[in-house]
Amino acid sequence: MAWLTLGAAIFPFLVVAFYTHPSADDYWLTNMVIATDAWQAQWDIRQNWSGRYMSMFLGSFNPLVYRAFGAYKLMAFLMFILTYAALLAFVKTFLYRAFPMSMAALLSLLLLVLHVGFMPTVAQGYYWLSGSLSYQTANIFMLFLLATLWHFYQNQNTPKKAFYIFLITILLCINIGLNETNMALLAFLMTAFLLVDTFLHRRLNFTLVYFLIITGICCALVYFAPGNLNRLKEYPDHGNLIFAGAYATAIAVNNSLNWLATTPILPLTVLFIPFSLKLAHYQKYQKNIHPATAIFLFFLSLIICFFVAYWSKGDHAPPRVQNNIYLVFFIGWFLTIHTTVAYLGGKYSLQILPVPIYARWLICLWIGLLLLYSKQSNIRQAYTDLFSGRASHYNQQMNARYTYLQKSDCQVCPIPEIQNIPRTIFFEEIPADTTWKNRYFSEYFGKKLMLLQPDTVSSGKQLK
């Protein structure tokens, strides 16, 4: 029953992936690669726009470079598969032989539904390649990194230690180069890991020092890129530490309360606590960490994530960034709950009675209502876009637009406005002017300019 329910919750998102189309920034980087080559494009971006060396590297080999629109759709589907794989690696490591693989697989699917179903913008998270390469890919590699760090702690005195050190080094380099929010978060986490480990064991772990040095080098590569520094000049309000700190703290509190109220995190926590106590018997590290330390590190992680946007731009974090922060929130929430339960269970021999059957059914009903009717839920909208035919009609309109542009010899091309855009899918219509979005889209199809026709109702009738 649980598998069927969770599968039904994730099903529409997998299908909608095959109705996605490129938009906005997708054409910007693609045109740069086509005009020069992948390596020159990355160098130009580093010099003039961004220090995100890994997301720009991945974007330089995106399917649009090879005119593979079908592969673009497949990338959205692949992001879901990779996210599930990363969650499975994390959960399997976290369970540490306490529960069978089938339990890890089910819990991973539950976390995927919690993530996709309630993230601030699933459209920018999965259905826009430029956004997903920078942010959802960062989520994926972050989960793999956390799982590998756990393996490292479990194998510090075994021959596998060198392998995990190598793997963590690679994952740190990849993660930090994807976006600035992950960069700041990892810098904080690696510092915190070193300080907590030093306090618990009363000695300096030189491997953790090495990880922190690698983190610092990669952060410097991102931050001090000429293009990154040039971009900061576009935001005159950047660099205000007091403003950024105050707003980041306030928004961290506000969003945390909102996520607890509008997602199934609280009812799942009730079910998780007895599970957590049983799991704690197989683990030793959480029992040594005081709950106050765990809570402090958890909340400070959220503040740092929000701080990056307020400090760099003087404005709120955009929805695609909040997707990352939401993942940090619910993963951090359950880890903090588990650390607290493990500590109290070890110190006071805490015993927690199983949740009664009737209470489990009530909690499941609560979760079901949130999945379908919460204002934050993306699941109902995904089903609406899919079964109303809106996603299919959008796909037909976009394909008709491509066919027209490929067959027509126009240079200044009139195109009909796309109608009834699905809310689940990311799409930005080409502006009716000569701004960069119009220019890059036109260049990709070998045209000079697109002239939008807003009064058109049916693209199929207009494009001949």
Question: Among 23-27, 28-32, 223-227, whose mean pLDDT is lowest?
Answer: 23-27
pLDDT at 455 over 70: no
Question: Among 187-196, 256-265, 302-311, 359-368, whose mean pLDDT is lowest?
Answer: 359-368
Higher-pLDDT residue of 171 and 281 is 171
- Alpha-carbon distance of 345 to 337, in angstroms, equals 12
- Alpha-carbon distance of 44 to 341, in angstroms, equals 51
Neighbours of 428 (CB within 10 A): 12
**Phi first, then psi: what are they for 196, rounded to 5°?**
-65, -45
- Work out the mean pLDDT of the chain and round it to a whole number: 91
- Alpha-carbon distance of 286 to 336, in angstroms, equals 9
Question: Among 49-58, 216-225, 281-290, whose mean pLDDT is lowest?
Answer: 281-290
pLDDT at 458 over 70: no
Element (H, E) at 450: strand 449-453
pLDDT of residue 284: 63
Q: How confident is the model at residue 292 (pLDDT cuts 50, 70, 90)?
A: very high
Q: What is the per-residue DSSP string for 392-432?
A: HHHHHHHHHHHHHHHH---SEEEEEPP-S--SSS---PPPS
Q: Where are the domains of the chain?
A: 2-385, 388-462
Percent of the chain at pLDDT > 70 equals 97
Higher-pLDDT residue of 367 and 459 is 367
